[in-house]
Structure 1
């Protein structure tokens, strides 16, 4: 566990407006735990099923290190196995308060996706549940969580303070349409005071475009949880550069995500100070990976399943820590 997170775990030392974030290593999938200043928890996605409960166990361990005994709000962005596969295993290990998602599957003829959605929907039926749409919020106390995309739709009006013209829209080139789950992923902007975070799930390139062109409906952010693990079908310059993040965290695997194209777009983003990665990207090689101290799991042969942890304050300042080597860096506005 990171030194700063250990200190902050003591309630007497915890600043009144501290948000804790755990980018959990689920080996190229997604599972991110947010612990609000109120103590309420929101988990976005659960990683994979199987693997001897690997991902559920890592989520439980991250929650325990945060002093979290239940997931108050479980948000499932879409129904691919690397995001929703671990729901049944997690539900067997931790209490869940309420489940949020985009509705039913958009890949009902895809056997692989239905093998994820069917057990998920059986679990969902046992809990309070809400289908959320663009413009809705996740009601976690102490944070504002705006749903900005879902089920193939995007917010119509800009978020407060956003709406500026995006000059990069003139050079945008669409990709072949994706009728599946990625194009229907939930996407969120999370706010604590002046701190803003983009967590857009696996939102597809063409759907991202609707959020930032012809005007940027999202505004700028401090922290960008990279979309779709850093694959080449998400994270266009139009959205990444419009978000103008100071820091990005890539939830890639050694051989999943971390594409040269997406990595280069993030690295070239105006205002970026640092990119952190959950894994060394084999595709990226020596030229398209960050320095090792910023990588939680640099070796596939000695993969420790380490997380990247963030402690953030309402004034916009935050600290990122590598769970492997305890290297941490503070970012102030």
Structure 2
């Protein structure tokens, strides 16, 4: 087992966006950068920030910002590193405006990479609205057959906009000077409709275990995200040898469903030492009961600090070049 790295002061400094410290910091950043261009979305189809790619509002010595957006019972996460932007999932069909607002905040007029972990609408539903205003250099998504209207329309839109759609294999890497993102799953044999076994809830294959699993690193900071992947996906991730105790942030899979976040993976990430952060994207009062008490208990037993978008709002991390980071939430 790898030794858990020491956390610097940034890793234990919690902030609330509505508090005075964040408000003053945000104001100083805004004034220093000259602020965003005032205006409204016009007939030309260009958003105000699209004239020039602005620098992301990074605090202090941060080189990377990671934000788990509050998109209800859906998922979307933005990574901004060295002026490059990666969007992982886009929420549901009603999430487009939330995602676009986040892109505006960080001054993003073009995505360097859009990762769609799998074909469910609560992960890809906002993609069409986003791409209509903020195009992407490329799209990564698993190799599955299009079987829904939302999925088919997305593929057609990518073709119209001449955006390459790539089915990355494990080991595929995207990177910048300070950041590195690597695909860890799924293995080829788990792609597409070969995944047919019922899960613990009795549901047949529904794309969950075709979810792309990725690890992002910036200095000593590491984050693991694997969409709606469940226990079969977690077995694949563990086989890579890259789900280890140096991971700081776990994006909890499938909104906290009991079919994911197995004990083996949680223990591999925590390394038996408390302090790692688990972020759950779930809608307030959702009909699925996510996150389940079973998963919350597993996370607590493994020593994770739990942050939830249904309780804390959006969760963001400001990461410096060495990997020290601050955590900020909309609500305590």
TM bucket normalised to smaller: 0.7 to 0.9
1:249 aligns with 2:279: yes
Separation in structure 1 between the aligned mates of residue 182 and residue 237 of structure 2, nearest angstrom: 13
1:315 to 300, 315, 322: 322
TM-score normalised by L of structure 1? 0.73
1:277 aligns with 2:308: yes
**CA deviation vs aligned residue, 1:266-298 (integer Å, no higher than 9, x gap):** 11114x3x211001xxxxxxxxxxxxxxx32xx
Separation in structure 2 between the aligned mates of residue 139 and residue 315 of structure 1, nearest angstrom: 16
**CA deviation vs aligned residue, 1:62-100 (integer Å, no higher than 9, x gap):** 112222222221000001000011111111222222111
Match of 2:300? 267
Match of 2:149? 115
TM-score normalised by L of structure 2? 0.73
1:20 aligns with 2:65: yes
Separation in structure 1 between the aligned mates of residue 58 and residue 127 of structure 2, nearest angstrom: 33
1:84-95 superposed matches below 5 A: 84-95=124-135
Q: How many residues matched?
A: 268
**CA deviation vs aligned residue, 1:294-330 (integer Å, no higher than 9, x gap):** x32xxxxxxxxx422211223332111112x4x5xxx
1:199 aligns with 2:225: yes
Distance verdict in 2 for CA 1:140–1:182, change over 3 Å = farther
Q: Is the 8 A contact 1:178 1:204 kept in 2?
A: no
Separation in structure 1 between the aligned mates of residue 189 and residue 84 of structure 2, nearest angstrom: 28
Separation in structure 2 between the aligned mates of residue 24 and residue 217 of structure 1, nearest angstrom: 25
CA-CA distance at 1:17 after TM superposition: 4.9
Q: Is the 8 A contact 2:186 2:236 kept in 1?
A: no
Q: Which runs of 5+ in 1 are unaligned?
A: 155-173, 280-294, 297-305, 328-333
Q: Is the 8 A contact 1:73 1:140 kept in 2?
A: no
Divergent runs of 4+, >4 A: 7-17, 151-154, 174-178
CA-CA distance at 1:15 after TM superposition: 4.7
Distance verdict in 2 for CA 1:130–1:275, change over 3 Å = same
Higher relative contact order (CA 8 A, sep 6+): 2
**CA deviation vs aligned residue, 1:157-179 (integer Å, no higher than 9, x gap):** xxxxxxxxxxxxxxxxx957953
Separation in structure 2 between the aligned mates of residue 58 and residue 13 of structure 1, nearest angstrom: 20
Separation in structure 2 between the aligned mates of residue 177 and residue 243 of structure 1, nearest angstrom: 28
Q: Is the 8 A contact 1:77 1:201 kept in 2?
A: yes
Match of 1:146? 182
Q: Which runs of 5+ in 2 are unaligned?
A: 1-15, 34-54, 191-198
